[in-house]
A and B are shown apart, each in its own frame.
Chain A
Amino acid sequence: MTPERHSYLDAPYGLKAWLLTKDHKRIAMLYLISITIFFALGGFFAAGIRLELLTPKGDLLTPDLYNKFFSMHGVIMVFFFLVPSIPATLGNFLMPIMVGAKDLAFPRINLISWYLYVIGGLIALTVLAMGGIDTGWTFYTPYSTIGSSTNVSLAIIGVFVAGFSSILTGFNFIVTVHRMRAPGMTWFRLPLFVWANYATSLVMILGTPVVAITLCMVAAERTLHLGIFDPKLGGDPVLFQHLFWFYSHPAVYIMILPGMGVMSELVAAMSRKQIFGYSFVAASSLAIAILGFLVWGHHLFVSSQSIYAGMVFSIITMLVAVPSAVKTFNWAATMYKGSVSWESPTYWVVGFMGLFLVGGLTGLFLASMGLDIHLHDTYFVVAHFHYIMVGGAIMAYMGGLHFWWPKMTGKLYNESLAKVSAILVFVGFNLTFGPQFIVGYLGMPRRYHTYPDEFQVWNVASTLGASILGMGYMLAFTYLVYSIFKGEAAPANPWGAKGLEWTTTSPPPTFNFDVDPVVDEPAYNYNPTGKGVHVG
């Protein structure tokens, strides 16, 4: 049996030790638990939406309740699941280890960020208990300021607090990457997961405060009558849209960049090969982060924004697609002449590549202004962003969870069930959102709970897909939780992968390394002499 050892999971022992921990790995696990709860809640609302949409009439939920369902689905999934997901769980766990440090730069602030997340979440649950909000997660004025009679201001406080949590995570990552790298770990030896989270953190710290103040303005208009967006006072409701999307567009890059970082790690590890074009992939993360700040107006093409502004936003949006394409080609090229293993993480990788590809490519339709006139605010948009956020980000998150599960928990999960889960998710996902492209092109608007009869067949297919998708996730949850209690003990390096995290035990000791690392080789150095790696 394994000799007695103290990993970060066993020592120190006790609930208080966990709730007052400064260990980034424990904080990552705390986040994992709380994020999963919110994912389930967001999924519940999604189920309600899809059930209602089985029939063209509004027969399951009242109009107001349906509006609350999609609003809560959006708020929870965006602010309480997707934005923190990879950075707060995998990022928190791996960033210090990957740079060769004992912890993040500011461990106590890391813990505070988790508590802020929890407080924000409790506020959101309170709003839910008080009836929820019905403004959509986008809070467009004037509806959110003068139209809605739900608890908008309290919801805004919840989002504000959760946003502050993500700012703290981002700022911790930035200082860690700048100041905590082990000797020999130069910038261009960093794993691409670190580059991706670094770029994400830049977006987090620059964008989140803007949505924070914008939502404060909405709350101020509701509670203090400071009518900044009120047309009767000369205000412009479209100004809200500009300020809101200035964050919320980069926010979608917060959601996908870490996923791309996970992909780079998994593709390299599963192919046992150096990532093709390392510096291009690293640079593309930064390019996406920077360009992502310059495209917000593509959400406003039909909002009365000027044609010329629209043109600028459209062309830059086209440009931001290019670095993503570059990454995709680089990943595919990495597999060329690799040693590719079809273990379970690969299923998630291949699934991601297919789905992210479709999602990213369908963005081109929307970036093209003339087409966007037709497609804006239809199900085409809903399908596009779900392909990226669920087909892309969540597949990457699941792939990363699986890949690093042995490292984080010290246990191995059931490989066959993992493959089944990946397939269920892939098939279910496509069936859910593929038809939505079609029904959107045919004209079905978003946020509708009743619709013309001719759209029903697509909606039924979509709901069927959603059930399969849900089953895939529930299966994953089941075998992953089971593995914690009954799984086989994991060796230090079950995949035979390169990376500092695989040089330490599974799970790692509290201070990550028994011996302080010194780095003298590039990342993904699978082939220094052509000899193999040591697995186990």
Chain B
Amino acid sequence: MTGKPEMSNSQISITGLRKSFNSHVVLKDISLRIEPGEVVALIGPSGSGKSTLLRCLNLLTVPDAGQISVGDFTLAFQGKSTTLPNERKLARFRAQTGMVFQHFNLFTHMTALQNVMEGPITVLKTPRAQAETQARALLQKVGLLDRADYAPDKLSGGQKQRVAIARALAMQPSVMLFDEATSALDPELVGEVLSVIKALAKEGMTMILVTHEIAFAREVADKVIFMRDGVVVEMGPPSQVIDNPVNDATRAFVGRFQASVNQ
């Protein structure tokens, strides 16, 4: 299968990561380690830094300090003096992380199929015919082969997000990053996207999900990380962080969710 994750070198480690926007400190000394095949859910209130952390992993946001390793790449940051890798290396670094955005960000001037083919053709220089075969297989995987020739504005939100997932998978990333992938969807469309993510988890894809879907996090995640004010407050299996949180702040945050389940 085309989307088969690479098991060998896909360990991710983050050490001493810091980020501030002007005087506002968003990430304070974050250190994490994610094993190959692990599914990690990042939860926490708005403004806790979870999206920023995710965006740092593919350098859409450049950290101020710390170190990030994804697969073969290790990048260290030291404030303004950091020299970012040259654009070629930066692009290669990004290509091994598949990013799925809250607002889909499908290329509006391309069909669903072209969206999925774009990365392989432009970045990986895959021959067109091969890229198309692969793209069709991925669209089939997310259940949208019949929508291959649709423009994004003719697709529902859930369909767009599934195409966006296929587009990210087409680069055969070693980790998939989901930035609130279901937050912009109508409630009835959330399920179709979550089931695609669940299927990826079953295949052993390494994934990091920033999510507000606590029930889903509990179901699919191997590890849940609760963040608040730019720090990791609590980290552990869902049975701990969601069902029996140790920390008061975590308890307060998941408490609302627990209350709604117990009703």
Specify whether A and B are partners.
no
Interface residues of chain A, those whose CB is within 8 Å of chain B, are none
